[in-house]
Amino acid sequence: MFNKSSISVAALVAALALPVTAHGVVEKLVIGGQDFGTEPVWQVDNNGPAATTNNMGNADLACGPGATAPSSSASATAGDTVEFTWSSSWPHTKGPVITYLGKCSGSSCDPNSIDFYKIDEKGITDDDGTWEQEKLTNGNPVSATIPTSTADGTYLIRNEIDNLGSIPQELYPSCSTIEITGGGSGLSGETISFPPGYSDADVEESIALNNIYSLDSGYTFPGPSVASRRAMLSPDDQQKFSLAEAGKDVCTASATATAKVTGKPKIRMDFVDFSNEVQRRPSTLSGVSEIKYPGSHASRASFSAPQNVPKPDSVSNHISKRASSLKPKHQMPDSEHGTLLNNPADNADNVDNVDAAATTDTKNNSPTRASVIERREEDVEKGDEKAVNDSAAVQNKDEKDPFFVEFTPGDPENPKNWKTWYKWHCTMLSSVLILNSTLASSIPSSALQNVMQEFGVSQETATVQITLFLFGYVVGPSFWAPVSEIWGRKPIFIITLFVYTTVTIGCALAPNITCLLICRLITGTAAASPLTNSGGVVTDIWPLDKLGIPLATFACSPFLGPVLGPILGGFEAQYGDVGSSRGWQWTYYTCLIFGFTCLCFVIFFLPETYGPTIIERRAKKLRKETGDMRYYCASEKNRPPIGQLLKTSLTRPLRLQVTEPIVIFSSIYISIVYGVLYMTFEAFPLIFRGVQGFSVGISGLSFISIAIGIGFFLIVVILYDRRYQRVARETKKLPPVEMRLEPTLHVGSFAFAIGLWWLGWTGYKESIPWQAPMAAGIPLGFGIVMIFMSFLNYLASTYVTFSASALAANTITRSIVGAVCPLFVDQMFTAGALHCGIKKNGAFDLGILQSSSAGCVSAASFTQNIFKAAPVVWSSEVQHRSSGGASALIVNSGCANAVTGKQGMIDAQAMTTAVNDQLGRDNSTLVMSTGVIGQLLPIKRITGSIAPLFHATREDEHSWMDLARSFMTTDTFPKLRASLLRLPSGRSVRVAGIDKGAGMIHPHMGPPSTISRLPHGTLLGVIATDAPVSSTDLQQTLDHVVDRSFNSISVDGDMSTNDTVLAFANGAEGGEKLSGDDLISFQTQLTDFAIDLAQLVVRDGEGATKFVAVNVDNAPSYSLARQVARSVATSSLVKTALYGQDANWGRILCAVGYAPLSGIPSQSSDPPIDPSKVTVKFRPTDGSPDVRLLTNGEPETVDEARAAEVLKMEDLDIHIDLCIGEETARYWTCDLSHEYVTINGDYRS
Residues 847-896: tens digit of each pLDDT: 999 986 778 999 999 987 788 899 999 999 999 999 989 999 999 998 99
Strand partners of residue 988? 982
Span of 681-690, 746-755, 765-774, 916-925 with lowest mean pLDDT: 681-690
In this predicted structure, what is the pLDDT of residue 168? 66
Number of compact structural domains in the chain: 5
Residue 664 has pLDDT above 90, yes or no: no
pLDDT digits (tens, 9 = 90+) for 338-361: 333 333 333 333 333 333 333 333
Q: How far apart are CA 164 and CA 311, in angstroms?
A: 50
User: Do 936 and 989 belong to one domain?
Assistant: yes
Of 202, 231, 260, at which residue does a domain stop? 231
Contact (CB, 8 A) for 972 and 998: yes
| Mean pLDDT, rounded, for 913-918 | 91
Residue 679 has pLDDT above 70, yes or no: no
In this predicted structure, what is the pLDDT of residue 208? 39
| Number of CB atoms found within 10 A of residue 962's CB | 24
Of residues 331 and 570, more confidence is placed in: 570
Position 236 in a domain: no
Which residues, other chains included, contact 555 with Cβ-Cβ below 8 Å and sequence gap of 6+? Answer: 785, 788, 789, 792, 793
Through-space distance between the first and last CA atoms of the chain, rounded to whole angstroms: 59
Q: How far apart are CA 62 and CA 51, in angstroms?
A: 10
User: Do 1142 and 1086 belong to one domain?
Assistant: no
In this predicted structure, what is the pLDDT of residue 1015? 31
Please report, for the domain that includes residue 98, its CATH number.
Answer: 2.70.50.70
Among 411, 418, 410, 710, smallest CA distance to 537 is for 418
In this predicted structure, what is the pLDDT of residue 248? 41
In this predicted structure, what is the pLDDT of residue 294? 31
User: Do 552 and 476 belong to one domain?
Assistant: yes
Strand partners of residue 893? 930
Contact (CB, 8 A) for 602 and 491: no
- Give residue 665's pLDDT band: very low, low, confident or very high (50, 70, 90): confident
Q: Which residues are catalytically annotated?
A: 1018
Position 397 in a domain: no
User: Do 980 and 1074 belong to one domain?
Assistant: yes
The whole-angstrom distance between residue 350's C-alpha and the CA centroid of its chain comes to 52
Residues in the chain: 1245
3-state helix, strand, coil in the chain (%, to 5): 50, 15, 35
In this predicted structure, what is the pLDDT of residue 742? 81
User: Do 548 and 656 belong to one domain?
Assistant: no
User: Do 687 and 772 belong to one domain?
Assistant: yes
Span of 259-263, 669-673, 854-858, 940-944 with lowest mean pLDDT: 259-263
pLDDT digits (tens, 9 = 90+) for 1048-1063: 998 887 777 888 999 9
- Give residue 123's pLDDT band: very low, low, confident or very high (50, 70, 90): confident
Span of 184-188, 310-314, 682-686, 1125-1129 with lowest mean pLDDT: 310-314
Of 1100, 1118, 1145, at which residue does a domain stop? 1100
Position 554 in a domain: yes
Residue 1160 has pLDDT above 60, yes or no: no
Of residues 658 and 1107, more confidence is placed in: 1107
Contact (CB, 8 A) for 1141 and 1106: no
Of residues 1031 and 238, more confidence is placed in: 1031
Which residues, other chains included, contact 929 with Cβ-Cβ below 8 Å and sequence gap of 6+? Answer: 869, 870, 871, 891, 892, 893, 895, 896, 897, 898, 908, 937, 1058
Binding residues for substrate: 969, 996, 1018, 1102, 1240, 1245
Q: How far apart are CA 381 and CA 1141, in angstroms?
A: 102
Q: How far apart are CA 608 and CA 276, in angstroms?
A: 44
DSSP 286-339: TT---EEETTTEEE---BPPPSSPPPGGGTGGGHHHHHHH--B--SS--SS---
Please report, for the domain that includes residue 688, its CATH number.
Answer: 1.20.1250
SS3 633: strand
Contact (CB, 8 A) for 179 and 75: yes
At CA 528, angle to CA 526 and CA 533, rounded to 5? 110
Which residues, other chains included, contact 1091 with Cβ-Cβ below 8 Å and sequence gap of 6+? Answer: 1044, 1045, 1048
Strand partners of residue 930? 893, 895
In this predicted structure, what is the pLDDT of residue 1038? 94
pLDDT digits (tens, 9 = 90+) for 985-994: 988 888 999 9
Residue 943 has pLDDT above 70, yes or no: yes
Label the pairing between strands 1194-1195 and 1187-1191: antiparallel
Which residues, other chains included, contact 761 with Cβ-Cβ below 8 Å and sequence gap of 6+? Answer: none
Among 962, 948, 947, smallest CA distance to 832 is for 962
- Give residue 260's pLDDT band: very low, low, confident or very high (50, 70, 90): very low
| Mean pLDDT, rounded, for 1113-1139 | 91
What is the SS3 assignment for 1015-1028? Answer: CCCCCEEEEEECCC
Residue 194 has pLDDT above 50, yes or no: yes
Residue 22 has pLDDT above 60, yes or no: no
User: Do 788 and 838 belong to one domain?
Assistant: no
User: Do 1118 and 1042 belong to one domain?
Assistant: no
| Mean pLDDT, rounded, for 537-551 | 80
* Rounded percentage of the chain residues whose pLDDT exceeds 70: 69
User: Do 1061 and 1120 belong to one domain?
Assistant: no
Average per-residue pLDDT for the chain: 74
In this predicted structure, what is the pLDDT of residue 329? 31
In this predicted structure, what is the pLDDT of residue 1089? 92
**600 class by beta-carbon count within 10 Å (0-12 exposed, 13-18 middle, 19+ buried):** exposed
- What are the φ and ψ backbone dihedral angles of 75, each rounded to 5 degrees? -95, 145
Please report, for the domain that includes residue 982, its CATH number.
Answer: 3.60.70.12
Task: Based on DSSP, count helices (H) and strands (E) in the chain, helices before strands.
Answer: 41, 31
- Residue 393: DSSP 8-state: H
Position 631 in a domain: yes
Span of 244-253, 940-949, 1035-1044 with lowest mean pLDDT: 244-253
Position 269 in a domain: no
* Rounded percentage of the chain residues whose pLDDT exceeds 90: 27
Position 383 in a domain: no
| Number of CB atoms found within 10 A of residue 394's CB | 16
- Give residue 997's pLDDT band: very low, low, confident or very high (50, 70, 90): confident
- Give residue 1029's pLDDT band: very low, low, confident or very high (50, 70, 90): very high
Please report, for the domain that includes residue 417, its CATH number.
Answer: 1.20.1250.20
**452 class by beta-carbon count within 10 Å (0-12 exposed, 13-18 middle, 19+ buried):** buried
At CA 659, angle to CA 656 and CA 665, rounded to 5? 80
pLDDT digits (tens, 9 = 90+) for 488-535: 899 999 999 999 999 999 999 999 999 999 999 999 999 988 877 887
Position 36 in a domain: yes
pLDDT digits (tens, 9 = 90+) for 71-111: 889 999 999 999 999 876 677 778 889 999 999 987 678 99
SS3 1243: coil
pLDDT digits (tens, 9 = 90+) for 379-423: 433 333 333 333 333 334 444 568 888 888 888 999 999 999 999
pLDDT digits (tens, 9 = 90+) for 609-628: 998 899 999 999 999 999 98
User: Do 953 and 1036 belong to one domain?
Assistant: yes
Of 231, 256, 279, at which residue does a domain stop? 231
> At 995, which helix (H) or strand (E)?
strand 988-996
Position 374 in a domain: no
In this predicted structure, what is the pLDDT of residue 379? 40
- Residue 746: DSSP 8-state: I
DSSP 29-71: EEETTEE-TTTTBPB-S-SS-SEETTSTT-GGGTTSTT-B--S
User: Do 820 and 686 belong to one domain?
Assistant: yes
- Give residue 30's pLDDT band: very low, low, confident or very high (50, 70, 90): very high
In this predicted structure, what is the pLDDT of residue 443? 75
Label the pairing between strands 632-633 and 1187-1191: unpaired
User: Do 82 and 185 belong to one domain?
Assistant: yes
Q: Which domain holds residue 1126?
A: 1107-1159+1166-1242
| Mean pLDDT, rounded, for 821-843 | 70
